[in-house]
Amino acid sequence: MPMTGSHQLIGWMGVTLTVPENWDLVQVKGNRFDGYLRFEEDGLLRCEIQWTLVSAGRFVLDEQVDRYLQSLEQLLRKQGKMVTVRRNLHLVSRRQVKRNVRDFQWQAGQVGYGMMWFCEECRKALVAQVVGYDHEPVRQWAQQIFLSLSDHADGDWETWALYGLRFEVPVGWQLGATELTPGKIRLTFRLGDDTLTVARFGPASVLLKGKVPEEFAVQALGDEIVKQFVIHYRMERFKGHEGMELVGKDKRSTSPLQVFLRRLRTAAPFPRFFGRLWHCEESNRLYLAAGSLSPEQEPIWERFANSVRCHERNEK
């Protein structure tokens, strides 16, 4: 069922879903093994997603749903609310989501529609609920969101999307350093010694005031990259925007001593640096895609860099 109205795709740690555009992602916690996403609208809880990796062994879904609902009822009653719970509403089916799934509804002043599933492939137990009032189309929201949900990538690349930033990373790369602030979103992924970084800066009109592009590029790349690589650039256009194509050579590769010392430790050559930095006028933001990559990983660069979206409509 397609989502009606404006909407946004969210992707985090392999979990993806589509929610209304005016719902704010206010909380992001955890990792691939245990995680939590919370969405609000004007301070009102609208949607929660929580997942847990289940260790090897038998997982009895009905027992877990019972425990979850008992805990939820206790919490609401402690708040002085009268609670009613219904189960097996057929909001979604096993055929639709390709997972063993149970759904439920609770009423306690507000109304919540929820579901829990267990994925045999990735062994994640995931619970989701959508909350609103009786006069709102909460059931419809829940069905649309639940049908959009996935707990792992379908192929070799997984989608990450939050706060207006969307891109793809190969499966297996792990999230490292993270900055999530109003003026800067920066995520770095690692696989061994290789890194991929994506960042969004804003507002561009403020950040670029009185600066030439080269000055901001040094600031955007950060001290670690600037110290490690000799970087050359040329002006290019990306996605219809003015930008810079960056290529760098590891400074250690010009030192015979450093080359000798590296060969004692590993046969792998020094990594190269690749980057793209561009100004998206439509969103008034600057975007960076960067990679420090060994020759073995260099083939992924183009797809990674091209996957970074700026002002394009954020549709699944």
pLDDT digits 0-9 by tens, 239-276: 899 999 999 998 887 777 776 666 667 767 789 999 99
The whole-number average pLDDT for the span 64-87 is 91
Q: What are the residue boundaries of the structural domains of the chain, listed by start? A: 7-148, 166-307
Question: pLDDT, tens digit, for every residue of 125-176?
Answer: 999 999 999 999 999 999 999 999 999 999 999 999 999 899 999 999 999 9
First to last CA, the chain: 13
The reply to whether domains 7-148 and 166-307 share a CATH topology is: yes
The per-residue pLDDT for 37 is: 98
For residue 287, give the H/E element and its range.
Answer: strand 285-293
pLDDT band at 232 (very low <50, low <70, confident <90, very high): very high
pTM: 0.89
Q: Label residue 261 exposed, middle or buried (CB < 10 Å: 0-12, 13-18, 19+).
A: exposed
Helical spans, DSSP H, in 51-110: 61-78, 94-97
User: Domain 7-148: which topology?
Assistant: Protein Transport Mog1p; Chain A (3.40.1000)
User: Domain 166-307: which topology?
Assistant: Protein Transport Mog1p; Chain A (3.40.1000)
Question: pLDDT, tens digit, for every residue of 6-24?
Answer: 899 999 999 999 999 999 9
The whole-number average pLDDT for the span 38-44 is 97
Sign of the Cα torsion 75, 128, 312, 214 reads positive
Three-state DSSP at 255 gives: coil
The Cα–Cα gap between 57 and 203 comes to 50
Phi/psi region, residue 5 (left: phi>0; alpha: psi -120 to 50; beta: rest), is left
Amino acid of residue 187:
L
The per-residue pLDDT for 242 is: 92
Q: Cβ atoms within 10 A of the Cβ of 265, count?
A: 7
pLDDT band at 214 (very low <50, low <70, confident <90, very high): confident
The Cα–Cα gap between 276 and 268 comes to 25
**Higher-pLDDT residue of 316, 7:** 7
CA angle 307–142–66, rounded 5-degree value: 115
Strand order in the sheet with 285-293: 174-180, 184-191, 194-201, 285-293, 272-280, 241-250, 229-238
Q: Cβ atoms within 10 A of the Cβ of 213, count?
A: 17
The tokens for 102 are 């149970």
pLDDT above 70: residue 1: no
Beta strands in 109-254 (DSSP E): 110-118, 124-132, 157-162, 165-170, 174-180, 184-191, 194-201, 229-238, 241-250
The per-residue pLDDT for 267 is: 64
